[in-house]
Amino acid sequence: MVTTELRLSDNEIVPAKKAAQVPAYQLKITLLGIVPPIWRRIQVPGGIKLSRLHDVIQVAMGWTDSHLHQFERDGKYWGNPEYYEDDDIEVFDERRVPLHNLLQAEGDSALYVYDFGDNWRHTVHRARRAREGQQFDLPRNRAAQR
């Protein structure tokens, strides 16, 4: 049976959508600097906007979405530009960028930073994409540790 929601142990739910035209990506999200490691394996549509991926990561990791965040890769930043008006860095609008533009190939990864005060840093690693023609509801939690 195919699930229509991402339900985690604390009963938080992220509604799923039918598989998009872009294949599903399996991601491994690992919180850096913690031993033993804390990680989640999730599947999301490759066309999911980074702003929505942020929402999925918040639920999967058990965060409360009460701090700023950004994605980083190759010296570029994605987030909400409204929060960076006084900064000297260029921040691309995460609401306009799909995941498949950031992580284009299997093995690609980016950094997801949550809470700039505590600086919780996560790797977002693209492990693989769904097989051709495979259909299921997304997002969904595949595995977790700690």
Domain boundaries, the chain: 5-145
Q: Does domain 5-145 have CATH number 3.40.50.300?
A: no
pLDDT digits over 117-132, tens only?
999 999 999 987 666 5
Q: How far apart are CA 58 and CA 64, in angstroms?
A: 7
Beta bridge partners, 77, equal 72, 91
pLDDT digits over 61-112, tens only?
999 999 999 999 999 999 999 888 767 889 999 999 999 999 999 999 999 9
Question: How many C-beta neighbours within 10 Å does residue 131 have?
Answer: 8
* Residue recorded with tokens 């023609």: 133
